């Protein structure tokens, strides 16, 4: 790695003692010698193991659940169903007043994705819990399912989630989050060329080294200590408090050292049910995803579809951009309404375009609920935007790098969501990339600056 | 049939934090009786190095060496509120909270030192080595060790501080979408060079040249580890990863690291990282959040390089050999 100190030297102080120093990490010796304690290193006498019975169907009504054989299985201590969860229907973002509550801790009457948790089994050993889970009998009436966002949005599509009433998230702005800036149709009318393209992605797994999980210890004073690898301690504590209808003062979360997250550990999935198990049995409980569950059950990055229509002039200026983004939330919201909204705030990318029109949709399908992942709401959008930029440059016969200089945002430029640009540095990054990659651009671009009063 | 070479570029920006939900993080700092400092957070270290960076930020602000600072993450009985470690917000939000808490603790520390040295607190400064000196008369000094002993055993003072960073929540305007989703933006430009075998559709990324502008590299070695790892992830997303090869069918999803494809050591591109620093107005010592941004530009850069090599556009991720072969076949037919 090279630090190029010549850029922005006039606005930077370089006389600090500890900041800017390549100090070795204090915790790295523990990590590389296997001595760092992670949550799963807690092992308590009498600890029970929790395993889930999961839906084998994408969409089905639950006619009946028979747990009697599982309860008789040697080693089984407790079997939990929806009726055991005090506030079973929840949504994580309710803490910031984003509703409706649309997901169940344990399925109640219906399952909406293949892998959904239906029954929790607590047993003396992992094996006993696994064997007993296989003995739970669930009678399903399979329902039509929808897996494709465009299909889900068509009239007459199977309704994925009754708590929403339609297969998209309803924002205060309507069926999508909108951004309107300038007059996009006038922009297209005056453009030399128009290019409309669609981009798509499939889900991506976070693939953390440490799988999702927690270990719960009931304390003598009616409190529960939950050792967890959540990425958000109070998010999890406060949501658990709502789900279990238990004062937050009864909950003590310990975590802080996590073997990789990438956004996959911000959903509140394992802690509430494990704490409930500990409360109802009075014993420590361990609920840890197997690698297979981590890959198959945990929320992936959403599949997205992005449609971009651009109006561009022969001289390289983009004069109008229309973006429609679709985020596949799967069966439940989790953080997806937020991700789709974040996408709306990110388009049209780091470029100054006078006329912009953006709609982003959060769509429900009978697929694994997606949620946050590194680059949430932005990564696939950047893929679409930057491939589109390449196509536009080639369409008008311009060098792709020079084309970006023409449109790059600079300090003071108004963005589509009506915030003036501050602290821009795209031009300087491109100048340095031009040098590093030996990809020359015209001298006038190398003389540009992101500063408001720059060239 | 041949192996064809191409290169592609992509340029991006990335927001730090998430004001659309309100975005608070708090920190507490206090000294031990012998003048070491504890930072208490509820922020989570995901392996990116939160603890180390918060120690350096606290040390810089108080004026002691980093190894005099211990960071506690995360225990809800002792740590104040943190929204969580996501949205590229850890260093930026927690860092600002730590600075505010450390400034308050430093002020108490200087007040106690002033009483011991019988001078005004405003006349004192730290030397960064564990001592407090009178400005202009550095022979008149006291160690932070002695100041802490005095505070705890003699003067009944708590060398401590409270810190908080909160950006008021932004509510998007319904019709126009006017909003303030973030405060500062990190930037990047990547040039990728690839080889595409037009007989098998296989893509090899030869080099990635990544330029990242991250506000401030608080610890350059740790910045490097994150940016190199992110660059790898971007290439992995571009060419390899999907939970569902037969989209939207679920049945072929991977169940372990043998079935879920990611680049192995033999697939690594030659990776060059260049860092620029334009300090952000509201960042801790100017830092922005590069944690997510660093995995994004490689994806379109590789896609554009594939087009440059073989003349077909793959607009669906990941860019698999199958998709390239189908596109080449369609191109030959047209």
Q: Say yes or no: B193 and B145 in one domain.
A: no
Give the relative orientation of helices B220-239 and B298-310 as an angle to the nearest 10 degrees. Answer: 50
* CA dist., res. A418 & res. A429, Å (int): 24
Using a 10 angstrom Cβ sphere, with 0-12 exposed, 13-18 middle and 19 or more buried, the burial of residue A38 is middle
- ipTM of this complex prediction, to 2 decimal places: 0.97
Provide the mean pLDDT of chain A.
Answer: 96
Report helix, strand or coil for A76. Answer: strand
| pLDDT score for B246 | 67
The mean per-residue pLDDT over the stretch A111-131 comes to: 97
Domain with CATH 3.30.365.10 in chain A: 162-204+300-421
pLDDT in tens, chain B (334 residues): 799 999 999 999 999 998 877 889 999 999 999 999 999 999 999 999 999 999 999 999 999 999 999 999 989 999 999 999 999 999 999 999 999 999 999 999 999 999 999 999 999 999 999 999 999 998 999 999 999 999 999 999 999 999 999 988 999 999 999 998 888 999 999 999 999 999 999 999 999 999 999 999 999 999 999 999 999 999 999 999 998 776 656 677 889 999 899 999 899 999 999 999 999 999 999 999 999 999 999 999 999 999 999 999 999 999 999 999 999 999 998 7
| pLDDT score for A256 | 86
Q: Pick from B136, B167, B198: which residue ends a domain?
A: B167
Rounded to a whole number of angstroms, the distance from the CA of B199 to the nearest CA of chain A is 24
From chain A, the residues in CB contact with B293 under 8 A are 375
| pLDDT score for B233 | 98
pLDDT band at A455 (very low <50, low <70, confident <90, very high): very low
* Each residue's pLDDT tens digit, A318-335: 999 999 999 999 999 999
Q: What percent of chain A has pLDDT over 90?
A: 97
Contact: B276, A429; criterion CB under 8 Å: yes
In chain A, which among 110-149 make CB contacts under 8 A with chain B? Answer: 114, 147-148
DSSP at B285: G
Strand A356-364: give its sheet, edge to edge.
A177-181, A356-364, A318-330, A304-312, A193-200
Residue B177, domain member (yes or no): no
From chain B, the residues in CB contact with A202 under 8 A are 242-244, 247-248, 316-318
Q: Say yes or no: B145 and B45 in one domain.
A: yes
Token pair, residue A107, equals: 């399925």
Q: Say yes or no: B199 and B323 in one domain.
A: yes
Rounded to a whole number of angstroms, the distance from the CA of A41 to the nearest CA of chain B is 16
| pLDDT score for A283 | 98
| pLDDT score for B248 | 59
Q: Say yes or no: B130 and B65 in one domain.
A: yes
For A250-282, give the DSSP string. GEEEE--B-S--TTTT-S--SHHHHHHHHHHHS
Among B76, B82, B218, B306, most A C-beta atoms within 10 A, so best to mutate, is B76
Residue of A nearest to B294 (CA): A375
Token pair, residue A231, equals: 């990425």
| pLDDT score for A454 | 53
* CA dist., res. B87 & res. B292, Å (int): 7
B36 φ, ψ (degrees, to nearest 5): -95, 165
Superfamily of domain A46-143+207-297: Aldehyde oxidase/xanthine dehydrogenase, a/b hammerhead (3.90.1170.50)
Q: Say yes or no: B70 and B202 in one domain.
A: no
Q: Say yes or no: B162 and B305 in one domain.
A: no
Token pair, residue A305, equals: 């579809």
* CA dist., res. A435 & res. A417, Å (int): 33
The mean per-residue pLDDT over the stretch A357-365 comes to: 98
Structural domain for B28, as ranges: 23-167
| pLDDT score for A122 | 98
- The CA distances from residue B264 to A125, A207, A300, B159, B279, in Å, are 35, 14, 21, 50, 35
Number of domain units in chain B:
2
Q: Is the pLDDT of residue A269 over 50?
A: yes
Rounded to a whole number of angstroms, the distance from the CA of A235 to the nearest CA of chain B is 7
Q: Say yes or no: B35 and B53 in one domain.
A: yes
The radius of gyration of chain B from alpha carbons, rounded to an integer in Å, stands at 25
Q: Is the pLDDT of residue A92 over 90?
A: yes
Strands A213-218 vs A224-228: parallel, antiparallel or unpaired: antiparallel
Residue B245, domain member (yes or no): yes
B272 is catalytic: no
From chain B, the residues in CB contact with A112 under 8 A are none
Is pTM beyond 0.90? Reply is yes
Among the listed residues A264, A270, A299, A297, the one whose alpha carbon sits nearest the alpha carbon of residue A286: A270
Q: Which residue has the tokens 């429609």?
A: A324
* Each residue's pLDDT tens digit, A169-226: 999 999 999 999 999 999 999 999 999 999 999 999 999 999 999 999 999 899 999 9
Q: Say yes or no: B7 and B92 in one domain.
A: no
From chain B, the residues in CB contact with A178 under 8 A are 174-177
Among the listed residues A222, A242, A240, A244, the one whose alpha carbon sits nearest the alpha carbon of residue A232: A240
Rounded to a whole number of angstroms, the distance from the CA of B154 to the nearest CA of chain A is 31
Q: Say yes or no: B157 and B41 in one domain.
A: yes
| pLDDT score for A364 | 98
Residue B172, domain member (yes or no): no
CATH code of the domain covering residue B131: 3.30.365.10
Nearest to A258 among B45, B60, B75 (CB): B45
Taking one residue from A and the other from B, the number of pairs with CB-CB distance under 8 angstroms is 410
Contact of A166 with chain B, judged by CB distance below 8 Å, is answered with: no
Residue B320, domain member (yes or no): yes
Residue B239, domain member (yes or no): yes
Active-site option among B60, B111, B292, B322: B292
From chain A, the residues in CB contact with B255 under 8 A are 291-292, 295-296
Q: Say yes or no: B28 and B160 in one domain.
A: yes
Domain with CATH 3.90.1170.50 in chain A: 46-143+207-297
Fold of A162-204+300-421: Aldehyde Oxidoreductase; domain 4 (3.30.365)
Residue B11, domain member (yes or no): yes
Q: Say yes or no: B329 and B195 in one domain.
A: yes
Residue B135, domain member (yes or no): yes
| pLDDT score for B249 | 66
Residue B102, domain member (yes or no): yes
Q: Pick from B167, B200, B215: which residue ends a domain?
A: B167
HSE-CB of A281 using CA atoms within 13 angstroms: 27
Q: Say yes or no: B159 and B231 in one domain.
A: no
Among the listed residues B81, B90, B78, B95, the one whose alpha carbon sits nearest the alpha carbon of residue B46: B90
| pLDDT score for A453 | 67
């Amino acid at each position: 790695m090279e630090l190029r100190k010549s850029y922005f030297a006039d606005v930077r102080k370089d006389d600090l003692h500890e900041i800017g120093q390549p100090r070795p990490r204090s915790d790295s010796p523990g990590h590389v010698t296997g001595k760092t304690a992670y949550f799963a290193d807690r092992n308590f006498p009498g600890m029970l193991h929790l395993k889930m019975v999961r839906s084998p169907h994408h969409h089905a009504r639950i006619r009946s659940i028979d747990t009697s054989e599982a309860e008789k299985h040697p080693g089984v201590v407790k079997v939990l169903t929806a009726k055991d969860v005090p506030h079973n229907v929840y949504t994580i973002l309710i803490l910031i007043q984003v509703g409706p509550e649309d997901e169940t801790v344990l399925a109640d009457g219906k399952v909406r994705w293949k892998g959904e948790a239906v029954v929790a089994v607590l047993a003396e050993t992992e094996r006993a819990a696994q064997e007993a889970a296989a003995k739970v009998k669930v009678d399903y009436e399979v329902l039509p399912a929808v897996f494709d966002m465009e299909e889900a949005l068509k009239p007459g599509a199977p309704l994925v989630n009754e708590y929403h009433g339609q297969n998209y998230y309803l924002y205060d702005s309507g069926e999508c989050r909108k951004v309107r800036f300038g007059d996009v149709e006038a922009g297209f009318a005056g453009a030399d060329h128009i290019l409309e393209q669609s981009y798509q992605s499939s889900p991506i797994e976070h693939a953390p080294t440490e799988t999702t999980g927690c270990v719960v210890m009931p304390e003598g004073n009616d409190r529960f200590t939950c050792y967890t690898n959540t990425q958000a301690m109070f998010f999890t504590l406060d949501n658990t408090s709502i789900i279990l209808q238990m004062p937050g003062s009864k909950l003590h979360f310990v975590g802080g050292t996590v073997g990789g997250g990438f956004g996959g550990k911000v959903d509140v999935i394992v802690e509430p049910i494990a704490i409930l198990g500990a409360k109802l049995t009075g014993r420590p409980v361990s609920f840890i995803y197997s690698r297979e569950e981590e890959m198959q059950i945990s929320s992936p990055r959403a599949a997205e579809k992005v449609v971009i229509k651009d109006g561009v002039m022969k001289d390289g200026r983009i004069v109008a951009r229309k973006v429609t983004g679709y985020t596949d939330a799967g069966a439940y919201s989790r953080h997806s309404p937020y991700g789709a909204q974040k996408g709306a705030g990110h388009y049209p990318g780091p470029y100054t375009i006078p006329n912009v029109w953006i709609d982003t949709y959060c769509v429900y399908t009978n697929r694994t609920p997606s949620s946050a992942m590194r680059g949430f709401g932005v990564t696939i959008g950047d893929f679409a935007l930057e491939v589109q930029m390449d196509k536009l440059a080639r369409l008008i016969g311009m060098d792709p790098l020079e084309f970006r200089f023409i449109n790059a945002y600079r300090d003071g430029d108004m963005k589509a969501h009506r915030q003036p640009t501050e602290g821009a540095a795209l031009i300087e990054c491109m100048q340095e990339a031009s040098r590093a990659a030996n990809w020359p651009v015209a001298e006038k671009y190398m003389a540009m600056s992101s500063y408001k009063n720059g060239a | 049939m041949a192996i064809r070479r191409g290169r592609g570029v992509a340029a991006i920006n990335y927001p730090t934090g998430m004001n659309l939900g309100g975005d608070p993080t708090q920190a507490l700092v206090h000294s031990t009786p012998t003048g070491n400092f504890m930072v208490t957070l509820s922020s989570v270290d995901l392996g990116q190095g939160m603890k180390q960076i918060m120690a350096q930020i606290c040390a810089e602000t108080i004026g002691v060496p980093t190894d005099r600072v211990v960071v506690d993450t995360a225990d809800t009985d002792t740590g104040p509120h943190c929204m969580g470690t996501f949205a590229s917000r850890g260093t930026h939000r927690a860092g600002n909270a730590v600075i505010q808490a450390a400034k308050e603790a430093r002020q108490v520390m200087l007040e106690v030192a002033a009483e011991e040295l019988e001078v005004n607190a405003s006349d004192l400064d730290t030397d960064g080595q564990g001592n407090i000196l009178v400005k202009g008369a550095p022979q008149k000094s006291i160690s932070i060790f002695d100041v802490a002993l005095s505070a705890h055993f003699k003067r009944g003072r708590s060398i401590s501080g409270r810190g908080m960073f909160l950006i008021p929540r932004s509510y998007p305007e319904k019709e126009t979408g006017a909003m303030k989703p973030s405060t500062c933006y990190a930037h990047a430009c990547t040039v990728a060079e690839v080889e595409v075998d037009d007989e098998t559709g296989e893509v090899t990324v030869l080099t990635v040249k990544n330029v990242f502008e991250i506000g401030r590299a608080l610890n350059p070695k740790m910045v490097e580890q994150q940016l190199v790892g992110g660059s790898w992830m971007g290439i992995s997303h571009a060419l390899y990863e999907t939970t569902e090869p037969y989209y939207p069918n679920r049945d072929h999803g991977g169940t372990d690291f043998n079935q879920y494809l990611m680049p192995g050591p033999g697939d690594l591109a030659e990776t060059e990282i260049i860092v620029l620093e334009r300090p952000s107005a509201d960042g801790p010592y100017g830092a922005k959040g590069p944690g997510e941004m660093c995995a994004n530009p490689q994806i379109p850069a590789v896609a554009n390089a594939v087009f440059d090599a073989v003349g077909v556009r793959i607009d669906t991720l990941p860019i698999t050999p199958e998709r390239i072969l189908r596109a080449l076949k369609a191109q030959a037919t047209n």
